[in-house]
Structure 1
Amino acid sequence: MTKMSLGSHPHMLGFEQLERLLERTAKTGNEGYPPFNIEQTAQDAYRITLAVAGFSEGDLAITVEDRQLVIRGRSREDAPERIFLHRGIAARQFQRSFVLADGVEVGEAIMENGLLHVDLTLSRPETVVQTIQIRKG
């Protein structure tokens, strides 16, 4: 049995990019750290919140690369004179990726009480109806 892809379906023209997007989403490698929430804050607005306890603003980097929001964290090494009897607060480096749909724009990022908030907005394009003229060949 042959696996049919979106790009090869006869009624789905030009969806090769969507297929690549789905494949890229499956490969993002997001483990369970750090935990995050995604909430809808308005009709066309969203907020991603990551729990980044132990990280400062300088330890974090937020980029948009090819319609993909990438949040990276790299904490500075503790001073060697610190001796932990128990270390339960994870401060390992991480990378979280979120694939953005067309029209989703990244707004501001706010650090508050160990939580990093990244605001997103969705701008919906106007619906355009196009009439195609038929000419004699």
Structure 2
Amino acid sequence: MRAANYLDLAPYRRSTVGFDRLFDLMNNATQDTSDPYPPFDIERLGDGTYRISLAVAGFRPEQLEVVAQQNQLTVKGHKPETERQVEFLHHGIDTRSFERRFQLADFVIVQSAALDHGVLTITLKREVPEAKKPRKIDISSPSQTQAGDQPTT
């Protein structure tokens, strides 16, 4: 049995061609993730520009890894076990290792990543290649085509 928040996209699958990946992504996005660590925000900065901010307090830049491959962004944090045993009176800053994945739309690239005050900020930009941008197609009439095909003497 599926979860209550399952979205049935079967009617749309029947009337579209080539959108299977999109529908799979939509179904996966509605699934509840059991581990919300580390917390993150996704912001739209402008037309085609986005920023992902992850709260990674306690991690140094060399303990973080950001990898963009095809349409997936993976952020990993690895905190080695400390050799020195510390006695915490209260331990509220979670510094466990993690792996967080983000699905990226087509033509979205990672522009930069920066760590400042315990927040990892990743800036993304959608850059559509010229060959993939819409272009206007001129429509000719049959009389223009025939006149253009006749040789001039």
Name stretches of at least 5 consecutive residues in structure 2 with no aligned partner. Answer: 1-8, 139-153
Query: Scaled by the length of structure 1, what TM-score is found?
Result: 0.78
Structure 1 consecutive aligned stretches of length 4 or more whose deviation exceeds 4 Å: 23-30
Q: In the superposition, relative to structure 1, how do residues 26 and 63 fare at CA in structure 2: closer, same or farther (>3 Å)? A: farther
State the identity %: 33
Q: State whether structure 2 residue 52 is matched by structure 1 residue 48.
A: yes
CA shift for structure 1 position 80: 3.0
Per-residue CA deviation, residues 15-34 of structure 1 (Å, 9 max, x unaligned), is 12223333454569462211
Q: Which residue of 1 aligns with 2:10?
A: 4
Q: Which residue of 1 aligns with 2:133?
A: 126
Q: In the superposition, relative to structure 1, how do residues 121 and 28 fare at CA in structure 2: closer, same or farther (>3 Å)? A: farther
Greater radius of gyration (CA): 2
Question: How many pairs align?
Answer: 130
Aligned with residue 22 of structure 2, among 18, 23, 26? 18
Q: State whether structure 2 residue 64 is matched by structure 1 residue 60.
A: yes
Q: In the superposition, relative to structure 1, how do residues 71 and 27 fare at CA in structure 2: closer, same or farther (>3 Å)? A: farther
Q: Which structure ranks higher in relative contact order (CA pairs < 8 Å, sequence separation ≥ 6)?
A: 1
Q: State whether structure 2 residue 116 is matched by structure 1 residue 112.
A: yes
Equivalent pair of 1:6/1:16 in contact (CA under 8 Å): no
Per-residue CA deviation, residues 3-45 of structure 1 (Å, 9 max, x unaligned), is 72644x13x0111222333345456946221111111223221
CA distance in 1: counterparts of 2:72 and 2:98, whole angstroms: 16
Query: Scaled by the length of structure 2, what TM-score is found?
Result: 0.71
Name stretches of at least 5 consecutive residues in structure 1 with no aligned partner. Answer: 132-137
Q: State whether structure 2 residue 89 is matched by structure 1 residue 82.
A: no
